[in-house]
Structures are given as C-alpha cells and as structure tokens.
Structure 1
Amino acid sequence: MEIRDATRSDADAIRSIARDSLDSTYTSFLEAETIDNAIEQWYGDSLTDELSDDRALFLVVERNGEIVGFSQSELVGQQSKTGRLLWLHVHPNHRGDATGVRLLVRTREELLEMGADQIRCFVLADNEGGNEFYRSHGFEQAGQREVEIGDETFTENVYVECDLEDDGEWGAIDEVEADGETIYVSYGEAARGTRSPFYTAYKSPDRRDQYAWFCGACDSVDNAMDAMGRIECNRCGNRRKATRWDASYL
C-alpha cells in the first residue's frame, strides 16, 4: 500500500472512487439525483484546481498501482489553524482491510505537519458506518453543522480527537494481518521513514508486549533495527535513520 499526495492526473480516479463510495454507502438516505449533484459539486471541473491549492490536502491510496481510496482535507485559520478532514472515501472492494484507518492516520499526520493545532472530521449524520468509524478511532462528536448538496440541506456531525494519551500520542490501534500473523498496530507511536512511517506493533491490543515495527509502505513486519535505532524494511527498503549519534561516523 502506498499513500501519497494526489496530482492533477488523479482527478478521474478520485471522481470514480467518490462515485462508487457514495453509491455503496449513501443510497439508503440520499436520492440518486442528490449523489449526482454531490459528485458535480465537489469533484466536477473545479477538482483539478483544488488539487493545486496549497491549503487543500488530497491524499490517495494505491494498491498494486490502482487508486482505491482518497481523503480530502483543508487547513483553515490564521494564528490557530484547524485541519478539517472533509471526506474520506475507500472503494467498497477495499473496505475492512485497514485501508480506511491507515488513510485517516496519514491524513492526520500530514495536517499536523502543515501546522494544524486541531483535527476536525466531518461525516453526514445519517451515515452510521462513517460515524462509527471516527468514534472507534479516537474521535468524539463535538457538534453539528449544515451542508448543502444541490438544493438540499443535510446535517453533518463534527468530530474531534478524544483519546490522546498523557504524552500527546494518538491512541488509535488496529488489528492487522501482516506476514501471516495477527498484530496490533499503534498508529500513535510512529517513526518517520524514507517512504512511509514505521508504526509500533504489539502482540495484543493492551499494548504490553512490543512485537515489531510495522512498515507503513508495504504492510510488513519483516524488518530489522540496529543498535543506533536504524530500521530497514527487508521487503521494500523503507528506512528510518539513526535516533542518536553514531560515533562510527566521526
């Protein structure tokens, strides 16, 4: 799995993912015409310009060279900045395999790096699955707002982070199958890599026994750490540099 910044050439794929996601999730409470209006409103001709906006963040997920999901966010405010995750869409065929939570984690990381002091997520109130997704990954409802789709007005729930640890780490943890083993990945405990972060993996959800480092670039725990804290993934070559001074380089 690769998560990267979207480019203008990804516009058609983003539009297609949004269509498939809305058709599979929202038809129980949105009319087909309303979904058509939503696609045109958010992912129409203006999409390519939005992809070039410095305050907008579009991330796409690729699996085997195919785009299977994306997130759409923005940074608002002057002195105190808020990262707003507006939409997170995953193709129906790729749900339930940690694609969504990995995209959520990376989007949060990118917004914080852009200068966000707070992360807010938005999901239509009638989307039960979407609301449960944010609640189960460290967010709590903080309010509501109205959003217009075509000529209709709908209610969106607003979520903010709720389970930050005492040291400021994000507590989201997810059960993942990696290299034939079940592990529990703590997305709040990350180490920056050259291609993607490494996340701490545990043998159980209580996070008592650290098992390995989970490579965010290729979903593998096949890696090694040396005495200086360098990590290298044996599968894809993702690397983390030394965490303290290495006297051998004097």
Structure 2
Amino acid sequence: MDVRTATTGDGDAIRAIANASLHETYADALGEQTVSGAVDKWYNEQRLTDRLSDEGTLYLVVADGDDVVAFSESDLSGEGAATIEWLHVHPDHRNRGLGKRLLEHTETELRERGANRVEGRVLAANDGGNAFYQEHGYVQRGERTLDLGGEEQTERVYVKLPEGEESPDLTEERETEDGTLYVAYDERERGSLAPFYATYRSKDRTERYGYYCANCESMDAAMDSMGRVSCGNCGNERKATRWDAAYL
C-alpha cells in the first residue's frame, strides 16, 4: 500500500472513487440527483486537471498495487490554515485502516507546506465522517447552513492543532467606520487572492454583518443573491467551494 501525490493520470480513478464514495455516503440524505450533479461538476476532466496543477491544492492518493483506492483533496490558504475538502475511500476498500493512514499522510504533508492549523468539513448527515474526525483528534469549532438540492443541510467544521498547542481565540475585534465588528477566523471562504472571513456585530456571533477580505484587510466585501462574494476594494472574489455544484 502506497500513499503518494496524485498525477493527472489518476484522474479516472479519482472520479470513480468520488462517485462511489459520495453516492454511498450521501445519496440517502441528499438524493441521487444532487450527488450526481456534484460529481459531474467537481470531478470533470478540466476542473480536476486545474486542481491537480494548482500549487495551493494538495491531492494524495492511496495505491493498492496498480489500483488507486482512496484520495484526499486539501487547500492551503497561505495564512497557515489548511482545509481537507475531501477524504474519500472507495466503499469496496473501507474498514481496512486506509482512511486513517491517508489522513495522517495528509496532515504531515500540509504541515510540511506551512500549515499550522488543519480543518476538516463534514455534513452533519454523515455520521461516519463526523465520528472519523472526532476519533482522530479534531474538535468541532463551527458550522454553517447550506442549501443543497432545495433543502437545508448543516456542515460542521472540525479543527486540529499541533500537539501541545492550545486552541486560539478565533474571533477578533476590529474597529470600523460602521462600528465594532468581529472577524470569525474559523468561518473562512476561499478567495481568488486571499480568504474571506465572516464578520459579526457581536462577539457571540448572533448578528451577521458580512465578510472581511484578508487580501486588502477591508470590510468592503459582500455576497449577492447568487451566493457570489466579492471585495469592492481590491477585486478579490470567492472561489467555488465543495458543495457549490449542488446549488442547482
């Protein structure tokens, strides 16, 4: 069994694993159509080729002889935070310890690339995925509501810090022209230039304000009715994230 960096030649295997794993895990909760739409958009040949060549993206695969049976897909923000977007093991190869081995290799590689904080994101409907992160030292630090296939779903955010480090206060107070606002550094959206972070009017995060743009340190970022986030000051734009393909 070998864990290695993925290449473009692994594309067909990655698509097949994602298709089988997502349907096995989410079809009952989200519906076949929603899952199929996500697979078609997120693992089509062009997008996968672009992702594999992106320096800010890490793809690792588990090879069993000539067969690729699992993969992880992660993003680095450039600010010390990394997100494991997906960790898929083909259903035919589960319960062999491959997920744990792949997770450990993924964490090691991300830290070697400069990450000091690793996040994992899992829908609440995925009991096995939530238990997996909890069993391997991750602590839930937040959640968000998604509209998937016309139904609301909760996505939980898990965080793992280097051993011995205490969890930092991830809400920062900032004075702005609109008064005191609070930046939630554990509620992050990928941007074309730098991440966006959710902002609130109170530290307890009961009243949402908008977004903070890490590229220009501006609060001049907003989401339109189509879910697009952009900064009016520097042009930073939100990149599509894991479940955007299912907003159909």
Do both share a fold (TM > 0.5)? yes
Residue aligning to 1:55:
56
Residue aligning to 2:31:
31
User: Aligned partners of 1:116 and 1:106: how far apart in 2?
Assistant: 13
| C-alpha spacing 1:54/1:146, structure 2 compared with 1 (3 Å) | farther
SS class of match (2:153) = strand
State whether residues 30 and 149 of structure 2, in contact with CA within 8 Å, keep that contact through their aligned partners in structure 1.
no
Residue aligning to 2:9:
9
| C-alpha spacing 1:157/1:26, structure 2 compared with 1 (3 Å) | same
Deviation of residue 76 (structure 1)? Answer: 0.6
User: Aligned partners of 1:122 and 1:151: how far apart in 2?
Assistant: 20
Alignment of 1:73-112 (within 5 A): 73-77=74-78, 80-112=79-111
TM-score scaled to structure 1, two decimals?
A: 0.62
Alignment of 1:84-163 (within 5 A): 84-147=83-146, 154-161=153-160
Structure 2 counterpart of 1:54, one-letter code:
E
State whether residues 26 and 126 of structure 2, in contact with CA within 8 Å, keep that contact through their aligned partners in structure 1.
yes
Deviation of residue 64 (structure 1)? Answer: 1.6
Q: What's the RMSD between the two structures over aligned residues?
A: 2.0
User: Aligned partners of 1:165 and 1:6: how far apart in 2?
Assistant: 28
| C-alpha spacing 1:166/1:56, structure 2 compared with 1 (3 Å) | closer
User: Aligned partners of 1:165 and 1:57: how far apart in 2?
Assistant: 22
Deviation of residue 140 (structure 1)? Answer: 1.1
Deviation of residue 104 (structure 1)? Answer: 0.4
State whether residues 38 and 150 of structure 1, in contact with CA within 8 Å, keep that contact through their aligned partners in structure 2.
no
SS class of match (2:16) = helix
Deviation of residue 38 (structure 1)? Answer: 0.9
Structure 1 counterpart of 2:10, one-letter code:
D
Post-superposition Cα deviations, 1:200-240, rounded to whole Å, max 9, x if no partner, equal xxxxxxxxxxxxxxxxxxxxxxxxxxxxxxxxxxxxxxxxx
How many matched pairs? Answer: 165
| C-alpha spacing 1:29/1:116, structure 2 compared with 1 (3 Å) | same
Deviation of residue 158 (structure 1)? Answer: 0.4
User: Aligned partners of 2:146 and 2:7: how far apart in 1?
Assistant: 27
Residue aligning to 1:72:
73
Say which one has the larger Rg.
1
Deviation of residue 148 (structure 1)? Answer: 5.8
Deviation of residue 167 (structure 1)? Answer: 8.3
| C-alpha spacing 1:153/1:86, structure 2 compared with 1 (3 Å) | farther
SS class of match (1:143) = strand
Post-superposition Cα deviations, 1:113-146, rounded to whole Å, max 9, x if no partner, equal 1111100011111100100000011111110134
| C-alpha spacing 1:135/1:14, structure 2 compared with 1 (3 Å) | same
Instruction: List runs of 5+ in structure 1 lacking aligned partners.
Output: 169-250
Residue aligning to 2:18:
18
SS class of match (1:96) = coil
State whether residues 21 and 90 of structure 1, in contact with CA within 8 Å, keep that contact through their aligned partners in structure 2.
yes
| C-alpha spacing 1:128/1:65, structure 2 compared with 1 (3 Å) | same
Structure 1 counterpart of 2:67, one-letter code:
E
Residue aligning to 1:196:
none
Higher relative contact order (CA 8 A, sep 6+): 2
Deviation of residue 50 (structure 1)? Answer: 0.8
State whether residues 41 and 149 of structure 1, in contact with CA within 8 Å, keep that contact through their aligned partners in structure 2.
no
> Please, which moves more after superposition, 91-100 or 144-153?
144-153
Structure 2 counterpart of 1:97, one-letter code:
R
| C-alpha spacing 1:97/1:13, structure 2 compared with 1 (3 Å) | same
